Structure 1
Amino acid sequence: MVQVVASSNPADSTHSNLPLSPVKRLYRVLQCLCAAGVAAASGVLAQGYPAHPVKIVVPFAAGGVADITARVLSQKMSESMGQQVIVENRPSAGGIVASEAVAKAEPDGYTLLFITNGNAVSASLFKSLPYDTVKDFAPVSTVGFFDLVLVVDSASKIGSVRELIAYAVSNPNKLNIGTINIGSTQNLAAELFKSLSGIDAQVVPFKATPAVITALKGGDVQAAF
């Protein structure tokens, strides 16, 4: 699952009779875009938001699913809001660098965070975080849902999961499984696959999906999520 969140402002949850905050106006805009198109969003935009470019911080490098999705979304948001929406990539393990940047940004709706399932598990995966995953962010909208796929190179003799496991059993510690950065959904899926199958394999994290594909085509990894 992929979502857009903003730096949290406690005032957003109270005083419902006051004018909409930028974060709530953004939420209404995205609701309108998803439900009724551009025309319905115009009434919300009339309240003055956004007055300058909006930034979406993506915790992954360029070229991956999250990055591509964020860029498609930013283009549509720009067209609808009449204001530039910029995508900024800040890849790191568990999305910590990007999340910290947004958590410390002004809670004005102009700095957004593109999160995935990986952000949700960081609180338990890492001993400490420079932000509170629950309190420091305000949810704006769910963007989409994506499936995971286990793949091998097209030239590989491995044609099924059963054959992949058999290869790992016959070649202890020689199976390398590529994923994007540590703490990502793909990375956790690979570790889960390794654990449930009981195979002796290495999970190799890369900064971005293109790097995983390059490693797979080059034979540096034999499979990838």
Structure 2
Amino acid sequence: MIRRQSMQRRTLLNAALALSATLAATLAVPGLEALAQGGSGKPVRLILPISAGSGVDNIARAAGPALGKAFGQPVVIENLPGAGGITGAAAVVKAQPDGSTLGLVSNNHVINPSVFRTMPFDALRDVTPISVIGSTPLVLVVNPKVPAKNVKELVALLKAKPDSYNYASSGNGTIIHLAGEMFLDEAGVTARHVPYKGTGPMINDLLAGQVEMGVVALNAVAPHLKAGTLRAIGLCGDKRSAAAPEIPTIAEQGLPRYNVAGWFAVIGPAGMPATEVQRVHDAFARAFTSPEVLEAMKKQGTVVEPGTPEAAAAFFRSEAARYAALVKKANVKAE
């Protein structure tokens, strides 16, 4: 009896030692240190306040595996479009500030306060800016049935037939809408605005010819440009993109003041501890500067330059002021 109890104790001891070794080996796996050292331990919920198929959606999907590795825990990407990005951002604002719920937002986040008369949250005070990750080029495109191949021809067409053409956007007051309004203003022409609930439906109707033109992220329409089902008129930024060097900018085609690009940034709820902010910042920086993600971003034309939390907060304030002036000038109001 005593011998049997002794054997049982040795068996339990060996099992405990084996379990300890397994746990030690698990925590030593590269990428899992982050889970052991910080965070809530729950999967990271990354909310995209835009529809599937948009530029930021393509960016997040390409970086998803690297983000999971950098965090050392699963990263679940969730699209919550609606109200120009307010629906998704509101979900981030209401979440616990423990790093388990984050948002990947674009220009729209700081535009909305100037467009909507009432907001369910303060776009600057109720979030924690963590990093402006980078920017992606926007491009003015037309359906191939439009008899214009460049800015000069398109402007001539719009002047010859005022308000006969439609331009699409991903929603009223979005950066896509403002970019279209800015083009019309710079060119001195008019067209009818047709807002959609997201980039996906907008692109579908551009392809079908239900609307004639629109501004959209380059990475969202690159396959259609290559296939010839959409035609690029010009890039909206101040320089050409390495992903599509053959597409000239709108500025170099006669509208030198026209310059707008889409940026994307990671945010969390207000009140995140400084250590958690830094942990999330570092994970995103590691993921987006990893060789595989940099290569994917290069193919999309996306420029990656992860900034600090302090720089992100200052950038949000300056961009909010910039777009407030543009919204007022274009008389953009929520519909």
AA aligned to 1:109 is: G
Matched ranges for 1:34-45 at <5 A: 44-45=34-35
Q: Report the alpha carbon displacement of residue 43 of structure 1 after superposing the two structures with TM.
A: 5.0
Which residue is equivalent to 1:93? 83
Q: Deviations over 1:73-123 (max 9, x none)?
A: 332111233321111111123311111111111111111111111111111
SS at 2:133's partner residue?
A: strand
Residue 134 of structure 2 corresponds to residue 141 of structure 1: no
Query: C-alpha separation between the residues in 1 aligned to 2:43 and 2:32?
Result: 17
Residue 192 of structure 2 corresponds to residue 206 of structure 1: no
SS at 1:140's partner residue?
A: strand
Which residue is equivalent to 2:68? 78
Q: Report the alpha carbon displacement of residue 155 of structure 1 after superposing the two structures with TM.
A: 4.6
Which residue is equivalent to 2:180? 190
Residue 103 of structure 2 corresponds to residue 113 of structure 1: yes
Which residue is equivalent to 1:165? 155
Residue 57 of structure 2 corresponds to residue 67 of structure 1: yes
Q: Report the alpha carbon displacement of residue 55 of structure 1 after superposing the two structures with TM.
A: 0.6
Q: Deviations over 1:48-71 (max 9, x none)?
A: 425111111111111111111122
SS at 1:174's partner residue?
A: coil
Query: C-alpha separation between the residues in 2 aligned to 1:75 and 1:140?
Result: 20
Which residue is equivalent to 1:219? 209
Residue 122 of structure 2 corresponds to residue 132 of structure 1: yes
AA aligned to 1:189 is: A
Query: C-alpha separation between the residues in 2 aligned to 1:198 and 1:137?
Result: 38
SS at 2:139's partner residue?
A: coil
Query: C-alpha separation between the residues in 1 aligned to 2:68 and 2:32?
Result: 13
Query: C-alpha separation between the residues in 1 aligned to 2:197 and 2:122?
Result: 24
Q: Deviations over 1:4-38 (max 9, x none)?
A: xxxxxxxxxxxxxxxxxxxxxxxxxxxxxxxxxx9
Which residue is equivalent to 1:9? none
- % identical equivalent positions: 36
Which residue is equivalent to 2:269? none
AA aligned to 2:173 is: G
Q: Report the alpha carbon displacement of residue 44 of structure 1 after superposing the two structures with TM.
A: 4.3
CA contact (8 A) 1:50 1:81 kept: no
Q: Deviations over 1:152-177 (max 9, x none)?
A: 12453211112112111222211111
Query: C-alpha separation between the residues in 1 aligned to 2:105 and 2:173?
Result: 12
Query: C-alpha separation between the residues in 2 aligned to 1:180 and 1:134?
Result: 23
SS at 1:87's partner residue?
A: strand
In structure 1, stretches of 5+ residues that fail to align are 1-37
Query: C-alpha separation between the residues in 2 aligned to 1:201 and 1:190?
Result: 10
AA aligned to 2:188 is: G
CA contact (8 A) 1:93 1:184 kept: no
Q: Report the alpha carbon displacement of residue 42 of structure 1 after superposing the two structures with TM.
A: 5.7
Q: TM-score, normalised by structure 2?
A: 0.52
In structure 2, stretches of 5+ residues that fail to align are 1-28, 216-335
Query: C-alpha separation between the residues in 2 aligned to 1:43 and 1:193?
Result: 49
Query: C-alpha separation between the residues in 2 aligned to 1:213 and 1:63?
Result: 9
**Structure of larger gyration radius:** 2
Aligned counterpart for 1:55 among listed residues 42, 45, 58: 45
Name the count of aligned residue pairs: 187
Compute the RMSD of aligned alpha carbons: 2.0
